Amino acid sequence: MRASTQPRSLRHVLTELREGLRFIQGQLQLRTLLLTESLFSFGWGIVSVLALFYITQNIHVPMSLFGLFSAVPAIGGILGTLLVDRATAKVGATSVYACAFLFAGVMVIVSTVPNQAIIDLVGFTLIGIATMQAEVLVGPLVLFATPKQMVGRVFSTLLTVTTLSSFLATFLSGYVSSTLLQGVVVHLPTGELNATNLLHIGAGVLIFVGGLHASCQFRKLQERNHMDRKEGHYPGTL
């Protein structure tokens, strides 16, 4: 009985995911959110996996302060949730969402190059503010573009894809840092960059690309909606 129930449950889950992906593929706003969130999950997954090495070896913070440094993005995230309503009221949800990732991507790169603890404290606080503003807006942006009967499937699909992206980042960052980039050092006027720095830079680029993609796609969607209004239709974005 159990053997027949488990394959049936698995088929049901896979069917739900397939239907969710098919629906997302047909909606520009949802498609944009899926790719942007996947890039962010992959990039931030790299940063999270390498946090211990970066904090203790690159910026030489004592192990006793590792927890404090790890909490810095979360502290910024609290500030981000407090500021998101005001920012959204001024420029709109889609603009805040895209700009947050553009800013976060740049800050990941800028923060990692000098290998300075103070710069990292400030930089990752700002990153926490920006990324939390974007993450808070994911729910409303998804709900705005999704009919009620598809909400569960869309959210489960989004969560599944971003989780897989984060897992992939965990595996690849560990492999690349310990094999392909082991012993690699880049000399700059500001100091030396090792494998951890280079992977941080790669993560920042991915997050920035996600923000750039969101900005371009949301602008395209707004132009399409503007044309629809001229023709008598009234879709929109947040």
pLDDT in tens, the chain (238 residues): 445 556 777 787 788 889 999 999 999 999 999 999 999 999 999 999 999 999 999 999 999 989 888 899 999 999 999 999 999 999 999 999 999 999 999 999 999 999 999 999 999 999 999 999 999 999 999 999 999 999 999 999 999 999 999 999 999 998 999 898 988 999 888 788 999 999 999 999 999 999 999 999 999 998 887 777 766 655 555 6
DSSP state at residue 76? H
Answer yes or no: is 235 within a domain: no
Answer yes or no: is 72 within a domain: yes
Answer for the pair 221, 233: CB distance below 8 angstroms, yes or no: no
CA-CA-CA-CA dihedral for 143, 149, 152, 157, to nearest 10: -90
Answer yes or no: is 236 within a domain: no
Give the range of the structural domain holding residue 80, as residue numbers without chain letter: 2-230
Answer yes or no: is 237 within a domain: no
Q: State the pTM of this model.
A: 0.90
CATH of the domain at 101: 1.20.1250.20
Answer yes or no: is 90 within a domain: yes
Question: How large is the angle between the packed helices 93-112 and 117-145, nearest 10 degrees?
Answer: 160
Answer yes or no: is 152 within a domain: yes
Query: What integer pLDDT is reported at residue 34 of this predicted model?
Result: 98
Answer for the pair 72, 128: CB distance below 8 angstroms, yes or no: yes
Answer yes or no: is 176 within a domain: yes
Query: What integer pLDDT is reported at residue 59 of this predicted model?
Result: 93
Domain count, the chain: 1
Answer yes or no: is 114 within a domain: yes
What token pair was written down for 163? Answer: 């989780």
What token pair was written down for 151? Answer: 């909400």
Answer for the pair 196, 177: CB distance below 8 angstroms, yes or no: yes
Query: What integer pLDDT is reported at residue 1 of this predicted model?
Result: 45
CA gap 197, 230 in Å, rounded: 50
Backbone torsions φ then ψ of 186, nearest 5 degrees: -110, 125
User: Distances from the Cα of 100 to the Cαs of 171, 198, 210, in angstroms?
Assistant: 26, 22, 10
User: Distances from the Cα of 208 to the Cαs of 105, 141, 223, in angstroms?
Assistant: 4, 20, 23
User: Distances from the Cα of 138 to the Cαs of 96, 159, 208, 236, in angstroms?
Assistant: 11, 11, 17, 16
Query: What integer pLDDT is reported at residue 10 of this predicted model?
Result: 76
What token pair was written down for 193? Answer: 């960059």
Answer for the pair 35, 224: CB distance below 8 angstroms, yes or no: no
Element spanning 230, H or E: helix 195-230
Query: What integer pLDDT is reported at residue 4 of this predicted model?
Result: 53
CB neighbour burial string for 33-42, b if at least 16 within 10 angstroms, e if fewer: bbbbbbbbbb
